Amino acid sequence: MIGAFSPVALHIYDSAGHHAGPLPDGSIEQSIPSVTYLTFGQITYVIVPNDPTYQVSLAGTRSGIATIDIMDFNGSTKLGFQQYANIDVTSQSRGNLTLGSLGTTFSYDLRGSGTPIALVPSTSVVTAAPDSSDVTAPTTTASASGTQGQPSEYRSPVDVHLVGSDDLTGVAETDYSLDGGSTWSEYEGPIHLATDGTYRLSYRSTDYMGNQEQPKSMVVVIDTIAPGISIGAPTATAYTLNQIVATQYSCSDGGSGIATCSGSAASGAQLDTGSVGRKAFQVSATDNAGNQTTQTVVYTVGYAVCALYDQTKAGLSGSTIPIKIEVCDSSGVNVSGSSVTVTATGLTKISANAPGDLMAAGNANPDNNFRFDATLATGGGYIYNLKTAGLGTGTYALSFTVANDPMQHAVQFQVR
C-alpha cells in the first residue's frame, strides 16, 4: 500500500498500459482491477500488487511538501514500512517507485531537470513489529540553507527544512514554533526567514502512535548589513619622514558581530612613515555572517626642510643670494644626499616689506636644480644661487620639489 500526503498525484500503469489515477478533468480513472485507488482531499491511498510489472509514478501538483508512506503486506501481516517524510515538491516534480522487492526504490526529480536522484527513506523498517509496540518518539533533523558565514550566521534570507524519522510506525506530523513554544504550527514546507534578526526555532515530530518528540531548537541569525569601520589615524593629510604616528581604528557591527578587524598595521602600531611618497592605509572588517567591508585612507609622507641661512636677512636687489638647505626627517636629522634631487619650481612675492639686514651676494647657479654640497652642515646639503635682478623690495618664497616627495616645499628670502 502506498500513501501520498499533500501536493502530489500518483499514477499507476500495468504491463498493458492501463491506468489508475487522476485525469485532466479531476476525475479518477480506475482501469486496473487489481489496483485500489482512494483519495481524501490531499491524501491518496493506493493498494497495488508488489510486482515490478506495475509502474508507479508521482507528479507534483503545486509547491509544498509531501510525505510518501509505503507498506508491504502479506495478507494482513505487515512485512515492512518505508517513509519519505517532508519531501520538497514543486509543480515540476516527478518521481518513480520501483516495486517487486521488500523495500521500494524511489527516484525523484524535484524540478523536472531530467536528472532524478535516489531518495533515502527517513524511516525504513523490515520485518515490522506490530504498530502497538511503537513506544519510541520520532527524531527530527533541521537544516538551514542560505549564504552562511560562521555557524548559524547568515547574510541572506534562510530556508529551514525539517525531516522527521521514526523507528516503526512513521512520522504523522512535524511542527515548529518561533515564539519559544507558546504556539506551534504544522510544518508544511521550508520555513522562510527573510529579515535581519535572531530567530529561535523550536521543532518536534509525532509518530502515528502518538509518541511525541521532546522539542529541539536551533538559532538562526540573519545579518545582511556590512560592518562599519572608523579610522582615526592616519587621516588624509601630509606627514613628515619618520614622524611618530600611532594608527587608530575600530570596527563595529549591529547584527551578527565582528569576526575580523584588521588593517595595514595593528591599531596602535606605528604608521608607515619610513619613506617619502603617497601611501594607502587600509582596514578590512568581516562580521560573523560573512559580510565584508574595506576602508582606505590615502596619505603622503614628505621631507622636512632645514634652512642653512638666516631667512630674515635681506639681500640687495640685483645681487645673487645663496639659498642653502638640507632635507631632514621629522626629528631634524639630515637625510640629504647626492642621489636626492632638489629642483626649484617657482618664485612668489609674499610681502612688499623686507625689514631684515642686508646679505652679501654670492655666485649665480646656472640651472634650476639645487646642487648637493657634501661640505654643508653635517652630512651635506644643497645650494641654489638665486639671481635677484629685477626683483623689487619685498619678501619672497622660493618653491621647490624633492625627489619622490609629493609635497611642494618653500623657503623665504628678502630683497631690498
Tens-place pLDDT, residues 122-173: 998 876 678 888 899 999 999 999 999 999 999 999 999 999 999 989 999 9
Tens-place pLDDT, residues 7-36: 999 999 999 999 999 999 999 999 999 999
Please report where in the chains the cell 518513480 appears, as a residue.
96
Between CA 297 and CA 287 the distance in angstroms is: 21
Please provide the average confidence, as pLDDT, over all residues in the chain: 92
CA count, 13 A, side-chain hemisphere, 7: 16
Tens-place pLDDT, residues 276-288: 999 999 999 999 9
Where do the domains of the chain lie? 2-128, 139-222, 228-301, 304-415
Q: Is it the case that residue 360 has pLDDT exceeding 60? A: no
254: left (phi over 0), alpha (psi -120 to 50) or beta: alpha
Q: Is it the case that residue 365 has pLDDT exceeding 70? A: no
Is the pTM higher than 0.85? The answer reads no
Between CA 402 and CA 13 the distance in angstroms is: 91
Tens-place pLDDT, residues 177-221: 999 999 999 999 999 999 999 999 999 999 999 999 999 999 999
pLDDT band of residue 404 (cuts 50, 70, 90) is very high
Under a CB-based contact definition with an 8 Å cutoff, are residues 88 and 111 in contact? no
Would 139-222 and 304-415 be classified into the same CATH topology?
Answer: yes
pLDDT at 358: 41
- Assigned fold of 304-415: Immunoglobulin-like (2.60.40)
Name the grid cell of 397.
Answer: 618664497
- Assigned fold of 228-301: Immunoglobulin-like (2.60.40)
Closest CA to 395 of 365, 351, 355, 363: 351
pLDDT at 354: 55
pLDDT at 315: 87
pLDDT band of residue 364 (cuts 50, 70, 90) is very low
Q: Is it the case that residue 381 has pLDDT exceeding 60? A: yes
pLDDT band of residue 351 (cuts 50, 70, 90) is confident
Q: Is it the case that residue 311 has pLDDT exceeding 80? A: yes
pLDDT at 352: 79
Cα–Cα separations (whole angstroms), residue 274 to 63, 300, 328, 409: 64, 11, 12, 19
pLDDT-wise least confident of 97-101, 249-253, 328-332: 97-101
Q: β-strands 358-359, 314-315: how paired?
A: parallel
Tens-place pLDDT, residues 90-102: 999 999 998 888 7
Name the grid cell of 82.
Answer: 518505508
Query: Under CATH, to which class is 139-222 assigned?
Result: mainly beta
Tens-place pLDDT, residues 107-129: 999 999 999 999 999 998 876 67
